[in-house]
């Protein structure tokens, strides 16, 4: 794990007046290049979480690229009319990676009583990707993936999630899918 690599998770909240998951995702993918890599485009599933709501997981390769984005200020090419509110968290990667073949995930926000680490899930099945906040490392995100929503359901039945992990104090999550190419509301 590169020490100065960062992972930024964005959430964008849309609205029923036309700011759809599809339009918000297009806006994300059309952002001017700034050295960030869009590792995942996720749409929250309306029956389990915010709606209409999308997420973007960005990999930022180094401190200099992060600093350039911060230097841009709020004039960074994001169309603020295209969503109701946005939210972002800066992370470091603790373990794992997303599988290219997965299309459905459980996304969890975690709060533990100690910094998240490779020991957090020691002795039990862990998430596909575990991230810790760079400036509050006892908080983070876990992503549990599956090929599709049917496979994700079966993973839920077998026992999935961070509630039983070491030192966990709060866990809250929802289902998301890779945003399909067709427009979705």
Partner 1 sequence: MDWNDRFYCHEDVYLRPGMSATYLANQGRQRSWSEGHNNTLVGIFAQLRPMGQRWPRAVNLWESTWKIKVGALNEQFGPNEGAKKANDKELDRWWRASSGHRSGGWDRLALPGPGSPSLATLRQGPPRRAVIQQLVRLRLGARKEYLFWFAETVPRALEGSAWQAMMWLAPLHSESAIVYFGAEDWNRVAELGRALPVPDCRWEPLVETSALKPWENSDYLKRP
Q: Are 180 and 142 in contact (CB under 8 A)?
A: no
Output 109 or 156, the one with its CB closest to partner 1: 109
Helix (H, G, I), strand (E, B) or coil at 67: helix
Instruction: Show the site string, 10-29: x = touches partner 1 by CB under 8 A, - = not.
Output: x-------------------
Give the nearest distance from C-beta 79 to partner 1 in angstroms. Answer: 8
Candidates 1, 73, 101, 182; binder of partner 1 (CB under 8 A) is 73
Output 45 or 138, the one with its CB closest to partner 1: 138
Q: What element of type H or E holds 153?
A: helix 149-158
CA 161 and chain centroid, separation: 15
Candidate segments 65-73, 100-108, 144-152, 157-165, binder of partner 1 by CB under 8 A = 65-73
Output 26 or 128, the one with its CB closest to partner 1: 26
Distance CA 125, CA 165 (A): 9
Helix (H, G, I), strand (E, B) or coil at 64: helix
Candidates 15, 18, 114, 154; binder of partner 1 (CB under 8 A) is 114
**Would residue 112 be called left, alpha or beta, if left means φ above 0 and alpha means ψ between -120 and 50 degrees?**
beta
* Other beta carbons less than 10 A from residue 91's beta carbon: 25
* Site residues (CB under 8 A) for partner 1, limited to 144-183: 167, 169-170
Structure-block tokens of residue 35: 């050295």
Give the nearest distance from C-beta 157 to partner 1 in angstroms. Answer: 31
Which residue, among 61, 130, 119, 127, has the nearest Cα to 95 in the 3D structure? 130
Candidate segments 38-46, 88-96, 116-124, 155-163, binder of partner 1 by CB under 8 A = 88-96
Residue 113 touching partner 1 (CB under 8 A)? yes
Structure-block tokens of residue 109: 């926000």
Candidate segments 96-104, 136-144, 148-156, 171-179, binder of partner 1 by CB under 8 A = 136-144
User: How deeply is 49 buried, as exposed, middle or buried, from its count of CB atoms within 10 A (0-12, 13-18, 19+)?
Assistant: middle
Residues that bind partner 1 (CB under 8 A): 3-4, 6, 8, 10, 60, 63-64, 66-67, 69-71, 73-76, 78-81, 85-90, 92, 111-115, 133-139, 167, 169-170
């Amino acid at each position: 794990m590169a020490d100065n690599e960062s992972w930024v998770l964005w959430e964008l909240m849309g609205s029923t007046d036309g700011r759809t998951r599809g339009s918000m995702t297009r806006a994300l993918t059309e952002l001017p290049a700034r050295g960030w890599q869009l590792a995942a485009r996720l749409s929250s599933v309306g029956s389990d979480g915010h709606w209409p709501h999308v997420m973007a997981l960005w990999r930022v390769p180094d401190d200099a690229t992060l600093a350039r984005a911060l230097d841009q200020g709020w004039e960074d090419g994001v169309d603020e009319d295209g969503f109701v509110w946005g939210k972002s968290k800066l992370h470091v990667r603790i373990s794992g990676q997303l599988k290219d073949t997965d299309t459905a995930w459980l996304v969890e926000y975690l709060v533990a009583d100690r910094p998240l680490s490779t020991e957090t899930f020691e002795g039990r099945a862990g998430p596909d990707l575990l991230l810790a906040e760079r400036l509050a490392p006892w908080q983070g995100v876990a992503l549990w993936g599956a090929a599709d929503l049917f496979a994700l359901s079966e993973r839920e039945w077998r026992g999935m999630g961070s509630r039983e992990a070491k030192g966990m104090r709060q866990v809250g999550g929802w289902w998301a899918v890779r945003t399909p190419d067709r427009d979705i509301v």
